[in-house]
């Protein structure tokens, strides 16, 4: 095998490794308790994916996310992704985050292990979401509504999870 064909093979493999998946339902994440969750389990559902933080001015939205989960759980699955990307507002480890969410807000929707939502270490789910919307989280509690039909809508932090602009899109 010549050096050119060897390098071409390496380049081809490298491109396929970094290639984004076609559907969000091809991804998975690990929960705070260490369980793997496949998004394919939610393929018939709308998803609201939120980057969260425990020490943010928007942390009160955990309560609203929990209410959305309880009131509209038959129409949308809420998924929280703790991240420490904005002013170190999620400093705790996974156990700290789980305890904070349970004790303060009674969170019962799935929460991922702490991830990065921007930069080189960005979690693959957020790479896909950013690619689909052209919008990367600009702060904690940004939201992505992934509709059953494949449409992806970005909402900034200031939009409440219970806002009519979100709830009205849950079919």
* pLDDT tens-digit series, residues 15-44: 434 555 789 999 999 999 999 999 999 999
Task: List the structure tokens of 65.
Answer: 């996310």
**What domains can be seen in the chain, in order of their start residue?**
22-167 (3.40.30.10)
Torsion of CA 83, 76, 59, 119, to 10 degrees: 20
In terms of Cα–Cα distance, which of 143, 139, 58, 138 is closest to 105? 58
Element holding 124 (H helix, E strand): helix 124-133
| Per-residue DSSP letter, 166 | H
Rounded Cα–Cα distance for residues 11 and 107 (Å):
44
Per residue in 38-83, pLDDT tens? 999 999 999 999 999 999 999 999 999 999 999 999 999 999 999 9
Confidence bin at 14 (pLDDT 50/70/90): very low
Task: List the structure tokens of 24.
Answer: 């969000």
Residue 82 has φ and ψ, to the nearest 5°, of -60, 140
Contact 34, 132 (CB under 8 A): no
Catalytic residue among 48, 49, 56, 78: 56
In terms of Cα–Cα distance, which of 69, 67, 94 is closest to 82? 94
Residue 152 has φ and ψ, to the nearest 5°, of -125, 125
Per residue in 116-169, pLDDT tens? 999 999 999 999 999 999 999 999 999 999 999 889 999 999 999 999 999 999
Count CA within 13 A, CB hemisphere, residue 99: 5
pLDDT at residue number 22 = 85
Is 142 assigned a catalytic role?
no
């Amino acid at each position: 095998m010549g050096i050119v064909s060897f390098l071409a093979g390496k380049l081809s493999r490298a491109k396929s490794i970094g290639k984004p998946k076609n559907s969000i339902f091809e991804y998975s994440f690990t929960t705070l308790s260490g369980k793997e969750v496949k998004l394919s389990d939610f393929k018939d559902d709308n998803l609201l994916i939120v980057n969260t933080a425990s020490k943010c001015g928007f942390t009160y939205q955990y309560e609203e996310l929990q209410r959305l989960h309880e009131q509209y759980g038959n129409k949308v699955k809420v998924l929280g992704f703790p991240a420490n990307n904005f002013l170190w507002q999620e400093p705790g480890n996974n156990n700290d985050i789980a305890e904070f969410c349970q004790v303060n807000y009674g969170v019962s929707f799935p929460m991922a292990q702490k991830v990065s939502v921007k930069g080189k270490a960005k979690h693959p789910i957020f790479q896909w979401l950013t690619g689909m919307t052209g919008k990367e989280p600009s702060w904690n509690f940004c939201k992505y509504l992934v509709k059953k039909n494949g449409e992806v809508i970005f909402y900034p932090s200031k939009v409440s999870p219970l806002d009519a602009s979100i709830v009205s899109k849950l079919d």
